[in-house]
Structure 1
Amino acid sequence: MLTPQTFSAPDGTMLAFHDSGPDAGSEAGADAGAPLLCLPGGPLQDSAYLGDLGGLTAHRRLIRLDLRGTGASAVPDDPASYRCDRLVDDVEALRAHLGLDTVDVLGHSAGANLAALYVTRYPERVGRLVLVTPGTAAVGLDTAPEERLAAARLRRDEPWFGPAYAALEEVTAGRGTGETFQAVTPFFHGTWDEAARERHAAGEGQRNGAGAGVFASEGAFDPEATRAVFAEFTRPVLVVAGEGDVNTPVPTAAAYAELFPKATFVVLDGAGHFPWHDDAERFRETVGEFLK
């Protein structure tokens, strides 16, 4: 495992990032050494869960940022700095640390909210933008309960479906509890096998719960301002959805893609909220081709 590298955030918090993949000029191609800055979800999840994004390092050099208070990054003195809009300066500090005029950015899940705010504030710094099963708070998109339930019903033949679906009905009706939220976990994975269970268990201990509670707190998002920037953002955008993702169902992800003048929208069949695990080959080929 590579030792994480560090840099200082504007407020002095020491942050870490993980640099992996081919060097420029390697057999992977001339573009392979160009960094892809990867922003994890959770929110406030250790970036370790992203791994190599299904082998995407065959195409690009990946820079995984450990957001403050997660992974190898330090806990900030000011807990209010976990708010999503305040994390934007950490992303910009990393771009500057890498010495890049522009950088390609990938945001997964809640990390897509941070990517969206980075584009809003620094659109000239983003070369290409990849949003994977994106969270939508930053752009003010709501998901109808029936969209989530329809995605879940694709799994009706699974042996665990009955109790999990009943729990999802409770969650979508606004009656979710800690127990029911845990019960719907299988719907986030294209295959609820032992490997998925292990990943889920590992992720439970890699999230900064206190920071997560601040991430989307009042004042974090201005959807109208973000949509206005997106409407003028003409650089390449890719939105990736999982066919069975109940967190960001296909109709919601499609509506997200439509916020841009021209975006590529791809649905991965049989995939859930972590599509690089469910169809690694198609995921890396889709994203890799887009980034060329």
Structure 2
Amino acid sequence: MPTITSYDGTAIWYELLGEGPPLVVLPGGPGMDLRYLADLGGLDRRARLVVVDARASGRSGVPEDRRTVAFTEQARDIEAVRAHLGLDRIDLLGHSAGCLTAQEYAAAYPGRVRRLVLVAPVGRVSREPDESELAELRARRTAEAWYPDAAEAYRLIVAGGATGAELAALHRRITPFFWHHWDDARRAEHRPEHASPHAWLREAFYAGSAGPATRDARLDRLASVKAPVLVLAGASDGMIGTAPARAAAACYPDARLEVLERSGHRPWVEEPERFTELVSGFLSDVPG
């Protein structure tokens, strides 16, 4: 089985895809099964993808101590992956919530990350969307047939009170907002079984960003990262918008931001050629 044993005995599942220089890949969610990433739009033809299921997610083990699921703690699992691969330094890519773990790893293990790619990051130290930007992005979709139902579902989510299966159903109804273009092909991308079955996981994952003092300290640590950083955002991302990506890029001394104009939250699906061109170019252009 393709697993490694992390520092506390938790089994961490990973898969290898493609050929070329290794690129460690962290899924989002939090808690999404790595299989939703597929081959990252063909990026496996440019790099050897080492795609890792986070603890308590996908086919990785569930730790006894839920506190270790915080993204600040999961950096230790990435260090275990690096050691298992026998690499002095790694190239690291995170998607969505996985970007928080990727950023934490780069700050916690100085010099271990050679190149860092953040795809649709949710923020720098927590989930940090700009609600006014999200409202504007969603308002642009009012002429689409699915809009009334998605807008009503979003209203019910914001109102609170929905839990369990009811809340999951509401989130499925707002899925069109996450895409630049919504059609049958995009519907097929939504796989409920890829989401985490653990109701506690989301709160545990974001626990690492609690408190203003913690936030300020983490921002200072991120600014100390010397590795080159590529940040990608989808211009039509109605899930988090582009504000978190812009903020993430601004906090690093050597960062580049690219906004893909015909993409939502999964740019490797909607603009695969552009996505792979940007990422592979960045990985190969930066001196080792």
> How far 1:247 sits from its partner (Å)?
2.4
RMSD over aligned Cα atoms: 2.2
Give distance in 2, aligned partners of 1:285 and 1:203: 30
Single out whichever of 69-78 and 235-244 deviates more from structure 2: 69-78
Q: Percent of aligned pairs with the same residue? A: 38
Q: Where does residue 184 of structure 1 map in the other structure?
A: 174
Instruction: Extract unaligned runs of 5+ from structure 1.
Output: 23-32
Q: Tell me if structure 2 keeps the 8 A contact 1:45–1:208.
A: no
Q: Does 1:153 find its partner at 2:145?
A: no
Letter paired with 2:128: D
The 3 A distance-change label for structure 1 pair 219 and 158 is closer
The 3 A distance-change label for structure 1 pair 281 and 208 is farther
Give distance in 2, aligned partners of 1:204 and 1:48: 7
* Structure 2 counterpart SS, 1:135: coil
Q: 5, 12, 20: which is aligned to 1:15?
A: 12
> How far 1:204 sits from its partner (Å)?
5.0
Aligned length: 276
Q: Where does residue 143 of structure 1 map in the other structure?
A: 129
Q: Where does residue 210 of structure 1 map in the other structure?
A: 200
1:44-193 alignment runs, 5 A limit: 44-136=31-123, 138-139=124-125, 142-168=128-154, 171=157, 174-176=158-160, 177=162, 178=167, 180-193=170-183
> How far 1:219 sits from its partner (Å)?
5.9
Q: Where does residue 247 of structure 1 map in the other structure?
A: 239
> How far 1:260 sits from its partner (Å)?
1.0
Measured against aligned partners, the alpha-carbon deviations of 1:101-140 in whole angstroms (never above 9, x if no partner) come to 110111101101111111121121011110000011x425
* Structure 1 counterpart SS, 2:190: helix
The 3 A distance-change label for structure 1 pair 252 and 66 is closer
Measured against aligned partners, the alpha-carbon deviations of 1:47-96 in whole angstroms (never above 9, x if no partner) come to 11111110001111100001122223222222332122221111100001
Instruction: Extract unaligned runs of 5+ from structure 2.
Output: none
> How far 1:234 sits from its partner (Å)?
2.7
Q: Where does residue 186 of structure 2 map in the other structure?
A: 196
Task: Give the TM-score normalised by the residue count of structure 1.
Answer: 0.86
Q: Tell me if structure 1 keeps the 8 A contact 2:107–2:224.
A: no
